[in-house]
């Protein structure tokens, strides 16, 4: 695979996406965690602890090859993606909670993701290699994720009009750059991509569906209101596949094409499953109101 594509293109794509996220953030967004403590804590526990365990069980159930198994665990350890914010907005979720969780998850993942990658690589590869992120590599991921966010937040705080004008173009540019980079990666593996989809597609679909169900169902069972639970469902169910692909492909990090396959397949599947999930949640949320209207006196 072209080293310039992976070394330069992917970090740029992720940096632009994180910059776009920062343009929509203020310090008040972080304080919203205190305003919704139950929803935030439950979502973080599901994201950081429950999902890696579920993914591990699915990987064993589907008996995936070692490198694909590590790629799945890398995906499970990745924080929620910025796409979750859009879906939450479209389907009536608590968008402010999404933004806060995305920011907090991105920070926590700097520390939790290397642990999951190290443990899963040690278990599945079984040859004594250490493929985890050393301290300097952790700092690289930290810089790629947080520096653009901080720049975006600074622009919003100091130059709000400029930030408002940049918000939409930056988001569009991030999609264009990401599509170009992923397309280049797919073209480089076009002879094998169909086999990859067959080998990991069902596992990715199962993990995606379970993530959405857990993200919504666990908060609801704990008494969280529907809007916050919807936000948690999208945040937990839509992982940052861009981050997973970047870490897997970057020569400075894992430098392994097969480990990037689950993230690439997930990045396609999640758009359809998230839309179906949003439709179902919307129907469930509006059904009681419809019943009340029908029984109301004329």
* Long-range pairs of 187-191 with CB within 8 A, sequence gap ≥ 24: 188/1, 188/2, 188/5, 189/1, 189/257
What are the sequence ranges of the domains in the chain?
3-283
CA angle, 154 then 87 then 113, to 5°: 65
Neighbouring-strand partners of residue 69:
none
Could you tell me how many residues make up the chain? Answer: 298
Q: Kindly list the distances between the CA atom of residue 180 and the CA atoms of 5, 9, 173, 186, in Å, as whole numbers in the listed order.
A: 10, 9, 11, 10
Nearest by Cα to 33 from 24, 48, 43: 43
Q: Are 137 and 7 in contact (CB under 8 A)?
A: no
Task: Return d(Cα 228, Cα 224) in angstroms, integer.
Answer: 7
pTM of the model: 0.72
pLDDT at 188 over 70: no
Most confident of 49-63, 68-82, 162-176: 49-63
Topology given in CATH for the domain delimited by 3-283:
Na+/H+ antiporter like fold (1.20.1530)
Q: Which residue has the higher pLDDT, 242 or 45?
A: 45
Query: Which pLDDT value is given to residue 270?
Result: 85
Query: Which pLDDT value is given to residue 91?
Result: 86
Residue 131 binned pLDDT confidence (cut-offs 50, 70, 90) = very low
Residue 181 binned pLDDT confidence (cut-offs 50, 70, 90) = low
């Amino acid at each position: 695979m072209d080293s310039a594509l992976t070394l330069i293109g992917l970090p740029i794509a992720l940096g632009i996406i994180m910059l776009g996220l920062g343009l929509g953030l203020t310090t008040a967004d972080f304080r919203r965690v205190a305003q919704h403590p139950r929803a935030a804590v439950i979502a973080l526990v599901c994201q950081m602890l429950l999902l890696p365990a579920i993914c591990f069980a699915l990987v064993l159930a589907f008996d995936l090859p070692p490198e694909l198994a590590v790629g799945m665990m890398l995906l499970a350890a990745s924080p929620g993606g910025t796409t979750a914010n859009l879906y939450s907005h479209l389907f009536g979720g608590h968008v402010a909670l999404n933004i806060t969780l995305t920011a907090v998850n991105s920070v926590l993942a700097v520390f939790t993701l290397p642990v999951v990658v190290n443990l899963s690589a040690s278990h599945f590869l079984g040859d004594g290699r250490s493929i985890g992120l050393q301290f300097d590599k952790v700092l690289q991921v930290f810089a790629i994720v947080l520096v653009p966010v901080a720049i975006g937040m600074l622009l919003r705080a100091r130059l709000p009009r400029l930030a408002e004008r940049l918000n939409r173009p930056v988001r569009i540019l991030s999609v264009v750059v990401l599509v170009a980079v992923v397309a280049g990666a797919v073209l480089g593996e076009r002879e094998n991509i169909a086999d990859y989809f067959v080998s990991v597609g069902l596992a990715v679909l199962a993990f995606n569906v379970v993530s959405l169900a857990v993200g919504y169902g666990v908060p609801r069972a704990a008494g969280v209101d529907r809007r916050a639970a919807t936000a948690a469902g999208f945040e937990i169910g839509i992982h940052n596949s861009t981050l997973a692909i970047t870490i897997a492909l970057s020569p400075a990090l894992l430098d392994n094409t097969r480990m990037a396959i689950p993230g690439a397949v997930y990045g396609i599947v999640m758009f359809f499953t998230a839309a179906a999930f949003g439709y179902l949640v919307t129907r469930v949320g509006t059904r009681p109101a419809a019943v009340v209207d029908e029984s109301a006196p004329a």
